[in-house]
Chains A and B, each alone.
Chain A
Amino acid sequence: MLLVGVPVLCLFGILEMGKGIAAPLSIGGEWTVQFDPAANCASLAPLRQPALSISQSGPGVLITLNDGRSTTFPATITGATLTAASLTASIAGKPGERVLQGRFDFDGCAPVAFRAIRQAPAKKSGA
């Protein structure tokens, strides 16, 4: 009884303690991206919607562009900011209604402003 009861009580304590722990903002999933209509950048042409696919593990994410070549690059979440070598964005909204807003730095183009809306909140595959 003791061998089972004590760990079960510990588990309840752990669950209570864990409620105060904050995890990174969730941005995993498929994203529909709206670019600044005034932007003039050849790199935008091959992009198809959903333009971004994000695989998230804690603050580390892998962003894949739907550009026909599946260009993938890593990024990091710090607070409410997503940062990568070619992208900076702020993360806003509740987990189910998350929005990314920022700018892309494509090679050979001036920074392009964008706003992205997540299609599905759940991460469905790591493949």
Chain B
Amino acid sequence: MLNLFQLVLQIAVILVAARVVGFLFQKINQPQVMGEMVAGILLGPSLLGWLAPGVSAALFPPASLAYLNALSQVGLVVFMFVVGLALNPTELHGYGHAAVLTSHVSIVAPFCLGGLTALYLYPRLSDDGVTFTGFALFMGAAMSITAFPVLARILTERGLVRSRMGTLAIACAAVDDVTGWCILAYIVVLVRVTHASRSAWVTIAGSIVYVLVMLFVVRRLLPAFERAFRRRGELTDNLVAVIVVLVLVSALATEWLGIHLLFGAFLMGAIMPKTPDFVSYLLHKFESVTVVLLLPLFFAFTGLRTRIGVGGGSAIWLYSALVIAVAITGKLGGSMFAARLAGMPWREAASLGILMNTRGLMELVILNIGLDIGVISPAMFSIMVLMALVTTFMTTPLLEWVYPARLLKAQVVGAEKNVA
């Protein structure tokens, strides 16, 4: 039964922890979201549950987590819509060979290495309820993801959005995200179909019809919102509510089809009109409550499922080190190598690799899906969460070391002069 007092108390504690740790992380030049992710972990069994098990059990009893999860899932649906909304396919044009090569290699290299690691980890951290194919493909997808939103935030905070490397990183991350989500949708179908009575063909055919309807019917109707926005300079509350309902219906369609409700929300955002002021208006409408209130709940829920260093002995740390090394080698190394081959100087190629290695909260979203559908075990989940934290944390200091801010600013100024 819902204990409203407990739920509100949980939300308050989570928000305070998220803001405080986020603030502290900003002080050490980390993005706020990195601190919020860490705050979630600190509230879970990895720290609070370890230091003060009584307080942890009183504040987050297992029976209460379903409500926290429900709220965080609603937040994720809106967040995925925002991610799709911010994605602009026209940005992918015009970056030529470097963008195409880097984005493809930055998916394929970590994917392949993730599959190779699965050969070692499958008998150690999985079970026969999951096929090796499902486990290996999930490992590959989880290794190859780039956190488009966190990357965009890091670039904005460092004033790099307009630099050549910044725009290239955004374009590659966008390609990675779309590809990663497509692969993940396939894995979810693969895993769910083996456990469900529904035929795989129903899911596959239904998904194709759904995507076609979204691209060729719904997409053509959406400019009506933009026209209404142009007429009044804003959208009425009723129109905003219609957009929310469309997001929810799209999410429900993909959930019903057996993929995942987040795919529907993401696609709805991706097909929205992309004129900058309209996108900016919608982002402003949807982003605040999602980023400030609902995402920290998702981080806390993730943290409550994460048991870094709890149980498993020294082997878990060995597996963690292996996963982190493979993730960095595949993503950072693969992107850097491809960018260099495409003709970028070493310093820029390395910086692009560092940026592409940022996994952030998109990784957490994928990992939660993996744990929910049972394709990864709780220990594997914790290891991958640790990997996501390490690869996100290392981005800013490594970038500063490889490509100091003064050099980057000089490049931006140079690029602006060339444009002028």
Contact = CB atoms under 8 A, between A and B. Distances in A.
Interface string A1-43: 0011001101100110111011111111000000000000000
Contacts of B126: 23-24, 58
Contacts of A10: 112, 115-116
Q: Interface range on chain B: under 10, 10 to 19, 20 to 34, or 35 or more?
A: 35 or more
A79 interface: no
B128 A14 contact: no
A5 to B, nearest CB: 9
Contacts of B306: 126
B128, B133, B338 interface centre (most CB from chain A within 10 Å): B128
Interface stretch (A44-52, A106-114, A117-125): A117-125
Contacts of A124: 372, 374
Interface of B: 44, 62, 65, 101, 104-105, 108-109, 111-112, 115-116, 118-119, 122-130, 132-133, 135-137, 140, 195, 301, 304-307, 311-312, 338, 341, 371-374, 377-382
Contact of A122 (B115, B129, B307): B129
Nearest to A123: B374
Contact of A127 (B62, B373, B374): B62
Given A57-B378, A95-B129, A15 B115 contact: yes
6 contacts: A3-B105, A8-B108, A18-B119, A24-B127, A56-B378, A123-B377
Given A7-B112, A10-B112, A19 B132 contact: yes
Given A23-B123, A60-B311, A122 B373 contact: yes
A124 B128 CA distance: 16
A21 B105 contact: no
Given A60-B312, A123-B129, 20 more contacts: A3-B105, A3-B338, A7-B112, A18-B118, A18-B119, A18-B136, A23-B123, A23-B128, A24-B123, A26-B129, A28-B377, A57-B377, A57-B380, A58-B123, A58-B124, A58-B127, A60-B379, A124-B374, A125-B65, A126-B377
Q: Interface range on chain A: under 10, 10 to 19, 20 to 34, or 35 or more?
A: 35 or more
B109 A18 contact: no
B260 to A, nearest CB: 14
A10 B140 CA distance: 12
A31 B307 CA distance: 23
Contacts, number: 131
Nearest to A10: B112
A109 B341 CA distance: 70
A19, A24, A25, A58 interface centre (most CB from chain B within 10 Å): A58
A62 interface: yes
A27 B306 CA distance: 20
B180 to A, nearest CB: 15
A43 B412 CA distance: 71
A17 B213 CA distance: 39
A34 B377 CA distance: 27
Contacts of B105: 3-4
A14 B118 contact: yes
A102 interface: no
Interface string A88-103: 0000000110000000
A24 B132 CA distance: 12
A95 B250 CA distance: 33
Contacts of A15: 115, 132-133, 136-137
Nearest to B303: A127
